[in-house]
Amino acid sequence: PINHGPTTSLYYEDPDGNRVEFQVENFDSTEELNAFVRSSAFAENPIGVEFDPDRLLERYCNGDSLQELRAQGSA
């Protein structure tokens, strides 16, 4: 699981070796996305950061906002 900045992705592989990526966009508008892509944070780390999906779910169940959950390094 990686929060790439523009998107957050979960990757799965089944026993037969088939792979799938589930992805959600992290920004509500193209303007916000473009600002992030032009930022020093993205320039310094264009791949993103790993996160703990269980922690993300826990925070969601505790009522954290989508904006908080989509921020890099939040889980």
Tally of CB atoms within 10 A around 45 = 12
- Determine the pLDDT at residue 33: 96
Domains of the chain, by residue range, sit at 2-70
- Determine the pLDDT at residue 72: 79
- Determine the pLDDT at residue 29: 96
The pTM of this model reads 0.85
Indicate if the pLDDT at residue 75 is higher than 70.
Answer: no
The burial class, CB within 10 Å (0-12 / 13-18 / 19+), for 5 is buried
Of the chain, the end-to-end C-alpha distance in Å amounts to 10
Q: Using one digit for the tens of pLDDT, what is the confidence trace for 5-39?
A: 999 999 999 999 999 999 999 999 999 999 999 99
Structure tokens at 40: 């020093």
- Determine the pLDDT at residue 71: 87
Indicate if the pLDDT at residue 43 is higher than 80.
Answer: yes
